[in-house]
Structure 1
Amino acid sequence: MDGQTVSRLAHARHPIAAPLSDGSVAALLARALAPDEEGRALDLGCGRGAWLLRALGARPRWRAVGVDLDAAALALARESAEALGVQRRIGLHHLDAREFTDRRPFELVLNIGATHVFGGLLPTLAAAREHLAPGGRVLVGEGFWEREPSAAALAALGAAREDHADLATTVDRVAADGWTPVAAHVSSRSEWDDYEFARTGTLAEWALDHPDHPDAADALAAADLHRAEWLHGYRGTLGFVTLVLRRD
């Protein structure tokens, strides 16, 4: 079973593919979309379009564009858009986010938990700036080290120590790059736990409900492995911050 399929199944009950509660998502979008009554939002790595769909639900005069390489996730995004009645206000592109172009700028550019697409946080912000309208906002979510990572944590994440910094250094780097944080949310331990248990539990339940599926055993093994890597590896070590940013 490929990674995109595993992720898609695992996030069926937690469409926001990050350790954020519904309340946190709503609060961040309220800050990122305000005070504009209308505008355009771009998600560079939209997956199932969960952020964009919530933005369109909150702002009936906004339009949105999502870009992702997972065709099946985009199909789910289209289905959700139709169910919500916002399909005419969203465009979804099966494309590498690094290749996306648009003649018109966007009032909001998002990248939540997908900065790896551009090679890190600062390259992601550089890409976002190319699409951003004057006075616009960027909503970006990135990992950071809550504490010094152990060898077990790094192994579980398949990461290197230099892949992340602590929270203060992460924010300092963003500010030094010319961005001003105007709002932020640091995911709580409870949000992390809810997210990880939802992710592994949903994948495992799919496997249990489809025992004859050729990928059932692989899905269950993937759920068991991820749960062990989280509980015995990076729980309490990897943090997640979502920033609302503006430029002068």
Structure 2
Amino acid sequence: MENNELVSISQGALAIMNPTTPEKVLAAGRAAGLRAGSRVVEAGCGNGTILALWGREYGISGVGVEAREDACGRAEQTFRAAGIGDRVAVRCMDAREYVPDEPFDCAAAIGASHIWGGFAATLDALLGMVTDEGTIVIGDRCWRSDRTPPEFAREWPDILTEYEILGTVREAGLDVAAVIRADGNDWDRYESGIWQSVLSWLGDNPGHPERDFMIDYLHRLQDEYFGYSREHMGWAIFVLVPGFW
């Protein structure tokens, strides 16, 4: 099954396609200094929930960039429903190909580092979208410690520890203004939402040629989660600002 279709099936129904909450998303926006007039770009904006939250609460304007056409349509609906359709637009394209007409005040990638292949590459890409005084918001997976069993760590070679993320941020000339971590309940809610979406699809598509693949996919996700992810893998939103050094 094509990856974008798989993501749409497994996560398309989730309001926020990450193990976090609206309250934590708003806390990240507050730490990033978002306010009326701030221009924000979000790479991999999904169905637009995060930009909608920031638009309603802080009065931002900007652009969401999303490659999946079905998600682009939902994002447009989300922006209209939030009353920000005149301030926030969707660009339906690969974020790697997006070039802003002018730099933004803030660039975000919440659970979208896979677009560039990891935290460091994502940070570099987002820095190219903001002003010299711009802020960066990245939500990403991270290992809880540097003692993750090698057999698990090899499955996710692009994931860093939080301390490695800190070093990457400082090497880029930035400081961490805030870290907003997912807790166990956030993880359980997120993963369970994916499982329920896949189970719903299986119930609705008894004769689909990809049915066996989807069953295997569901079981593989659950094996990973119960086997090691729940214990060893974290997720957090990192709010990054220009360094004072």
Bin for the TM-score computed over the shorter chain: 0.7 to 0.9
Letter in 2 for 1:177: A
Matched residue of 2:128: which SS?
helix
User: Relative to 1, partners in 2 of residues 1:117 and 1:216: Cα closer, same or farther, differing over 3 Å?
Assistant: closer
Instruction: Tell me the TM-score normalised to structure 1 length.
Output: 0.86
Residue 241 (structure 1) aligned to one of 236, 239, 242: 236
Write the deviation string for residues 173-225 of structure 1: whole angstroms up to 9, x where unpaired: 212321111111122122112211122122212332x1446268344443233
User: Which residue pairs with 1:149 in the alignment?
Assistant: 148
Q: Percent identity?
A: 22
Deviation, structure 1 residue 50: 2.0
Matched residue of 2:16: which SS?
coil
Pairs within 5 Å for 1:160-239 = 160=157, 163-208=158-203, 210-212=204-206, 214=208, 217=211, 218-239=213-234
CA distance in 1, matches of 2:174, 2:30: 19
User: Which residue pairs with 1:5 in the alignment?
Assistant: 5
CA distance in 1, matches of 2:129, 2:161: 28
Q: In the alignment, is the contact (CA less than 8 A) between 1:33 and 1:108 conserved in 2?
A: no
User: Which residue pairs with 2:91 in the alignment?
Assistant: 93
CA distance in 1, matches of 2:81, 2:215: 30
Q: In the alignment, is the contact (CA less than 8 A) between 1:200 and 1:224 conserved in 2?
A: no
Between 74-83 and 2-11, report the one with greater CA deviation.
2-11
Matched residue of 1:235: which SS?
helix
CA distance in 2, matches of 1:7, 1:173: 28
Write the deviation string for residues 139-197 of structure 1: whole angstroms up to 9, x where unpaired: 01122211433355347xx423xx23321222122123211111111221221122111
Q: In the alignment, is the contact (CA less than 8 A) between 1:106 and 1:132 conserved in 2?
A: yes
Write the deviation string for residues 108-162 of structure 1: whole angstroms up to 9, x where unpaired: 100112223223222222221221124221101122211433355347xx423xx
Matched residue of 1:231: which SS?
helix
CA distance in 1, matches of 2:111, 2:13: 18
Letter in 2 for 1:52: L
User: Which residue pairs with 2:37 in the alignment?
Assistant: 38
Q: In the alignment, is the contact (CA less than 8 A) between 1:201 and 1:223 conserved in 2?
A: no
Letter in 2 for 1:118: W
Q: In the alignment, is the contact (CA less than 8 A) between 1:149 and 1:234 conserved in 2?
A: no
| 2:65 maps to 1:67 | yes
Instruction: Tell me the TM-score normalised to structure 2 length.
Output: 0.87
Deviation, structure 1 residue 13: 4.5
Matched residue of 1:149: which SS?
coil
The RMSD of aligned alpha carbons is 2.2
User: Relative to 1, partners in 2 of residues 1:213 and 1:85: Cα closer, same or farther, differing over 3 Å?
Assistant: farther
CA distance in 1, matches of 2:192, 2:110: 20
User: Relative to 1, partners in 2 of residues 1:213 and 1:90: Cα closer, same or farther, differing over 3 Å?
Assistant: farther
| 2:97 maps to 1:103 | no
Matched residue of 2:231: which SS?
coil
Letter in 2 for 1:199: I
User: Which residue pairs with 1:131 in the alignment?
Assistant: 129
CA distance in 2, matches of 1:211, 1:153: 33
Letter in 2 for 1:18: N
CA distance in 2, matches of 1:187, 1:124: 20
Q: In the alignment, is the contact (CA less than 8 A) between 2:42 and 2:51 conserved in 1?
A: yes
CA distance in 1, matches of 2:156, 2:150: 10
Q: In the alignment, is the contact (CA less than 8 A) between 1:189 and 1:236 conserved in 2?
A: no
Structure 2: 5+ residue stretches without partners:
none
